[in-house]
Every structure is written in C-alpha cells, then in structure tokens.
Structure 1
C-alpha cells in the first residue's frame, strides 16, 4: 500500500492487507462484500424509519457516537496497548468525509426523497472512485470489461428507476437541493475512501474505525446543534420503530458493514469496492417486495439482471495482477 497518495506505484509492490489480518481468503472477501451489499442496502429503509421521529443529524450523531464507542471498547479489549490517538487526524478526516458528509447527506435528503431514489443517486460513488483514483487510471484503461461493467451497472440502475428519475410525479420543496446533497455526499464518500486506502492510519483496524465513527459523530452533533435540531426535541417523541431502526443502524450499518468496507478498501480496488452502490438499490427493491408487498415488474427484473452483470464484470478475477495489486 503506498505511503502517500502521491507516491509512485511500483510494479513489484503487492497490495498489503490490514495489519494482523494476513492474506485475505476468497471466502472472507465474499462475506465482506455481502455485508456492504446487503446490510447497506437495507440501511436506506432503516434510516427512513428512524427519520419518522428523529431529526437527521441528531440521529446520525447518536448512531455514530454509540457505534464508535462500542468499537473503541472492543479495540481496547482486543489491543490493550493500542492508542486511539495514533493517526487520529487521518482517521478523523476519513470519517468526516465518508460518514459526516457522505452518509449524512443521504440521510438528510431522505426527508424529501424516497429511499429508492436516494439509493440511485448514491450510485455515483464508484464513478467518483474511478475518477479520483488516479494511480489506477492506466489499469482501468487497459481493462475494458471493468469499465464496461461500471457503465453497465449505472445504466441498469437508471433503468430500474428510470420512470421516477425522468418524471417525478410531484417535486417536493427542496427536491433539487436534496439531489445535489447526495451527489456531493457521494463525492465526499469517494474522497474519504481513497484517503483511508492510500493514507491509512497506523494501528489496529478496530481502533481506526472507532476514531472515524467518533469523529463523524461529533461532526454530525455540531451540525445538529447549528441547525437547531435540539430545540424542540425530546426523547419521549422517539417511537419504538425509530429506536429499533437506530439500533440496527448502529450494530449492522455502522459496525459490521463499515468494518467490512474499510477492510475491503485495503484488499480490492476502490472502484470495485464502490460497486455496493449498484447493489443497494437492488436490495431496496427486494425489501419492498418482501416487506411492503410491492410488485416487481418485468422491466425491473431485467434491470436487476443488468446491474448484477455489471457487478460481475467489475469483480471478475483477472489473469494477472496489475501494478501494486494482487488478486485475493
């Protein structure tokens, strides 16, 4: 892994896994992808339920601070001699970009936009990753099928919800502001993800993730206070449904899936890891059919097939590793 984002890549330098984790197995990589594909796909619906009785940034602050505190305690138990202060500036920057500006923008926008449309707009993440990850431009240009997979995945998502994108029935106040917030947040997510990859902080992964979550939680708390969300808020207004949704987001969305995401950034190309944004809308549709009894049409089934084909093209193993990369 390069020491800095500006360091030249050497053909002989393999991509190193996170400290202490050894060489990743295909099973481990598969489980990690399943976590970010399935869990993060369900968080759009969970966030929508949480927003029923909680303001967005206050909800995000509580979610991230609780998850960060739990991971910090776990990191202290697993690594008693490790310090959370090691590389805290890089961890804080990554956490604020990915979660404080990225994920929180999507949650804020869900006050106006349906969760499915929010998931669509978040598919710009892998495109931003490919654009900003300049050390891999030469490799991406050589691998035409991966580029085609990125394009195919985006087209499949547009086809899945093309009707809503082309002609929304009613544009709520702040509609375009919400759209812009998600696109800008996706850019921040990509930038923070690349920072976490190329400028990874020293120390155990659990400690790094804990600092990122805590920093993002403090950031969201400051935004919440500045926006006046505390003014009329009382715990008595929080519903049972919203409480369980926040608990799910803490344990699975900000705990298990986020750890899997940070680990994958170390062992797979960023644009490949970013394909979670293509699968998340698929999960949203399946959850709608299973939980809300929404019908899935033939065009939607075709769009799902196109998205999955695009993801397969991006993730397919290559015959020989490129510069600074080894396939798990």
Structure 2
C-alpha cells in the first residue's frame, strides 16, 4: 500500500474533524442536544457497518477471549465514552479551544504505546509530555473575552481533554485488531458496543427532538456528522491503522486545530487570541517532542494472541 494513500486518508480525516468543530455549533444546543446527536451517530454507523460486514466478511468473527475483550474495550473507549465526552465538551467550549485540546491525543498515544506495546519513552518525549500538559492546563483554566459566550468553558475543556485521552487509548488498543481482522468486522463490533454504551444516555433526547423545525442547512450538518464524521472518518482511520502506527495517526491530529482555526474564523464561529496562540505553541511543541521517531518495538506476541 502506497504511503501517499495512507497520508491522503489521514489528511481527509483531519479535515472532516476540523470542519465539525464549527458545524456542530449550528446544531447544538438549539436544534438538538449533544447526546441526541451522539445517538443518531452511533445508531447510523453501527447499522451501516453491520450491514456492510454482512456482505464483505459474513463468516469472519473476532475469536478468543483476548481479542473479544479488546474489541469491547475499544467500543467503550473509542465509541461510547469518546463521543459522549466530545459532544458534551464541544457544547460548552469554543471550537478553537476544543480543537487545540484534541492535540493532546498523540501524547496519550505515546504513553499508552509504551505501556501496552512496550515502545520506548525517551527524554524528549518526557519533556514533550510535560510541555503539552502545561499548554493544555493553561488552556483549560484560562478565561478570555468570550467568557460570556461560553460560561461553562472550563467544564467543556475538561470533557474535551478526557475525550482526547480515551481516543488516544482507542488508537493504540484497536491497532492489533485492525491488523488481524477485516476492517468492517472490527468496526461492526466496536460500534455495536459503543451503541450499547451511548444510546441509553441520548435516546430520549433524540426521540423528542423537533425534527420538523430543522432547516435544510441543519439537516445537511446532521447528515455530515453521521456520514462523514462517524462512518467515513472511522473507516479511514481504522483502515490506515493497517499500514501506519498509532503515533502517525496521532501526528495527523496535529493538523486538526490548524484547519479548525481557519474554518472557525472564516465562518465567524470563533476568533484566535494571542493567549490561545501561546497555548497552542506549548501544546504543539509537546506533540512534536513526543512524536520524534524512535526505533519501533515489535508488537508482543501476546497482544496478537487469540
């Protein structure tokens, strides 16, 4: 598989996520609640992946206690908990703050890879973890001129940080599954688990939403979140994991705030202040340090065992 295709897929994922920071602000909370959106996303995606899996890999099953346990954890962290935290956080904070905090995920990837995949943590990576954490902390605790617009921004930032953490864990945990099974086999399983986790939180909100009040623009944005943000982005991300390391996916998260800032400013959803720029420098520096290449360690045999 050519590296150009992998990089193109990851760039498209970054662009899809970046646009969502601003588009989701049009939908919630006026037209739909965060958990209602999550319910539509996971139900739509789990149905899609289950149907496709039935046709492309009808007889393949995830086997063995270790792989089944891993797939359940991926569904809990990467789908259910991840999406609930993300939309709850984005509802409270600004698009730029949310996108900047998402770049903490590569740091989590490095730490999780060291623990689960036995990759080395070098001194630059330790420094990067510290610098990135400092940038995230100042961003979470800061109050700017838009405090009246986002009075619960601190809570929202904490939710987004937690979301980035569980997504980083997911990227590391799902890699052995993606290299062993068909992508749709894995995605059908993890989205089924994710739906079991997320739907109880939002089915009432999704059911009681006044869909008749949606203008065409809102319908298109909801469709974007179900089709592009959920189905296509997860499919491309997980496909790329067959040919790339979790660290490379983490590095592409680095692009999201750059694209998100351009989109948010262009659409008038947010503004880039000097304080946010400084916090971004700290986070980006931390991510750059932890993303410096080291000699990769092979995945232990027990990680791939059934």
**Superposed pair shares fold, TM > 0.5:** yes
Kindly state the Cα deviation for residue 323 of structure 1 after the two structures are TM-superposed.
Answer: 2.4
User: Structure 1 residues 147 and 286, CA, compared in 2 at 3 Å: closer, same or farther?
Assistant: farther
User: Structure 1 residues 243 and 137, CA, compared in 2 at 3 Å: closer, same or farther?
Assistant: same
User: Quick check: 1:324 aligned with 2:302?
Assistant: no
> 1:293 & 1:185 partners in 2: Cα distance?
22
Aligned to 1:118: 98
Kindly state the Cα deviation for residue 308 of structure 1 after the two structures are TM-superposed.
Answer: 8.0
User: Structure 1 residues 305 and 125, CA, compared in 2 at 3 Å: closer, same or farther?
Assistant: closer
User: Quick check: 1:131 aligned with 2:111?
Assistant: yes
- The one of 4, 8, 14 equivalent to 1:37 is 14
Aligned to 2:161: 183
Kindly state the Cα deviation for residue 208 of structure 1 after the two structures are TM-superposed.
Answer: 1.2
> 1:241 & 1:322 partners in 2: Cα distance?
46
Mapping of residues 188-203 of structure 1, within 5 Å = 188-198=166-176, 203=181
Aligned to 2:201: 223
Aligned to 2:185: 207
User: Structure 1 residues 240 and 103, CA, compared in 2 at 3 Å: closer, same or farther?
Assistant: same
Aligned to 2:36: 58
Please list the CA deviations of residues 198-223 of structure 1 after superposition, one character each: whole Å capped at 9, or x if unmatched: 46695311121122223323322101
> 1:115 & 1:293 partners in 2: Cα distance?
7
Q: Which stretch shows the higher mean deviation, 194-203 or 81-90? A: 81-90
User: Which SS does the other structure have where 1:111 is aligned?
Assistant: helix
- The one of 25, 28, 37 equivalent to 1:48 is 25
| Total equivalences in the alignment | 293
User: Which SS does the other structure have where 1:206 is aligned?
Assistant: helix
Aligned 8 A contact 1:88 1:201 in 2: no
Please list the CA deviations of residues 175-218 of structure 1 after superposition, one character each: whole Å capped at 9, or x if unmatched: 33322222222222222222212466953111211222233233
Please list the CA deviations of residues 92-115 of structure 1 after superposition, one character each: whole Å capped at 9, or x if unmatched: 431221121123212112222112
User: Quick check: 1:267 aligned with 2:243?
Assistant: yes
Q: Decide which structure has greater helix share.
A: 2
Please list the CA deviations of residues 48-77 of structure 1 after superposition, one character each: whole Å capped at 9, or x if unmatched: 223241111111111121122222222222
> 2:266 & 2:154 partners in 1: Cα distance?
30
Could you state the TM-score of these two structures normalised by the residue count of structure 1? 0.72
Kindly state the Cα deviation for residue 244 of structure 1 after the two structures are TM-superposed.
Answer: 0.9
Aligned 8 A contact 2:109 2:169 in 1: yes
Mapping of residues 67-78 of structure 1, within 5 Å = 67-78=45-56
Could you state the TM-score of these two structures normalised by the residue count of structure 2? 0.76
What runs of 5+ residues in structure 1 fail to find an aligned partner? 1-23
> 2:269 & 2:58 partners in 1: Cα distance?
49
CA RMSD in angstroms comes to 3.8
- The one of 74, 80, 84 equivalent to 1:100 is 80
User: Structure 1 residues 132 and 83, CA, compared in 2 at 3 Å: closer, same or farther?
Assistant: closer
User: Quick check: 1:254 aligned with 2:230?
Assistant: yes
